[in-house]
Amino acid sequence: MSLRKALPSTVALFMFEAAAKHLNFTRAAAEFNVTQSAVSRMIKRLETHLATVLFKRGPTGLELTEDGEMLYKAVGQGFQTIEAALDELRVRQGKTGQVTLSISSAFAVHWFVPMVDRFQAAFPNIDLRFQLVKGEPVGPFDDVDLAIRHNHPSNAEQHSWKLMDEIVVPVCSADYAKRHGMLRDAREASPHIFANLSGPMRLPWQVFLEGTHTPEPAGLRNITFSDYTLVVQSALKGRAMALGWLHVVGLELLGDGLIRAGDQELRTGLSYDIVASTKRPLRQSAVLVKDWLLAEMRSMEALLCPAAQPKTA
């Protein structure tokens, strides 16, 4: 059966979606500037046409039936697809598009901000909106176009593209290295200061030292921060040595901000990935941002880890 014949009118779907969202006919009516009774009549007409009950009506308010829940989910997904298509049409017409990214605050500050001019030159019609995650990039991402998450392979609920292998190295400023030496140096007069992240860390300094067969420096002192952005900042300012995740600190290493504090390098076998929910249609503008991120990261990785790049004939 075609959609036209399955519905009393297309307006019925819009009113049903509003009523299901609010579970209140009066609030739904306000969206369409009609009376509550007009919405009630339209829902009744839809229920009669479909030969099913969509709402349970009781003294405490409305509640969706099982059939109502199924229809609400389908209508919501359909509306999201249509909205995404309309957004993409606006982008193609030369109007400004917007792509929302969920990323860690450290990646935003130490990688994306330095790349803003480069991005804007490549995509003058795309605006970026950031949803920042403090600390490890974990958590839901259904309400954004793209997210960077730790070790998220593709599955039925998400698309995934590997941004970079998880590679961790010790980093410090050149000034810090002059005063305290490199990681393997143990200077009694000027002991090392390790920058740490408060709370349970998945990969703390002790795990890194053991994984790279590096003895703990003598006379070690520690300084602890609540956010990884500040951990990196303390290294940039020459106040401490930090563990640097290459996808975050790579640009600082290629510039004048940081240097490697030794030849130690820990590859966990995991990765950081660009992910997107399969429930949210991936618009062309988001695809362009995703491809740009992957290309820029590959270029940076080739400069940071030339020995790991495949050799060409």
What pLDDT was estimated at residue 89?
66
99 φ, ψ (degrees, to nearest 5): -120, 130
How does the average pLDDT of the chain come out, rounded? 88
d(CA 154, CA 273): 10
* Ranges 26-40, 44-58, 84-98, 140-154: which has the least confidence: 84-98
* 166-221 pLDDT tens trace: 999 999 999 999 999 999 987 788 999 999 998 877 899 999 999 999 999 999 99
What pLDDT was estimated at residue 7?
76
Decide if pLDDT at 313 tops 50. no
Q: What is the pTM of this model?
A: 0.68
User: Pairing relation of β-strands 221-225 and 193-197?
Assistant: parallel
CATH H-level, domain 97-164+270-307: superfamily? Periplasmic binding protein-like II (3.40.190.10)
Decide if pLDDT at 92 tops 60. no
What pLDDT was estimated at residue 94?
44
Decide if pLDDT at 307 tops 80. no
pLDDT band at 57; cut points 50, 70, 90: confident
What pLDDT was estimated at residue 312?
47
* 97-150 pLDDT tens trace: 789 999 999 999 999 999 999 999 999 989 999 999 887 887 778 789 999 999
Decide if pLDDT at 86 tops 80. no
- Look at domain 3-92 and name its CATH class: mainly alpha
Decide if pLDDT at 293 tops 80. yes
The percentage of residues in the chain with a pLDDT greater than 70, rounded to a whole number, is 93
What pLDDT was estimated at residue 8?
75
Dihedral Cα 109, 114, 120, 122, nearest 10 deg = -120
- By the 10 Å C-beta count (0-12 exposed, 13-18 middle, 19+ buried), 207 is classed as middle
CA nearest neighbour of 64 among 76, 54, 73, 78: 54
CATH H-level, domain 166-268: superfamily? Periplasmic binding protein-like II (3.40.190.10)
Query: Where in the chain do CATH 3.40.190.10 domains reside?
Result: 97-164+270-307, 166-268
* 252-280 pLDDT tens trace: 999 989 999 999 999 999 999 999 998 87
pLDDT band at 88; cut points 50, 70, 90: low
Decide if pLDDT at 5 tops 80. no
CA nearest neighbour of 149 among 190, 140, 84: 140
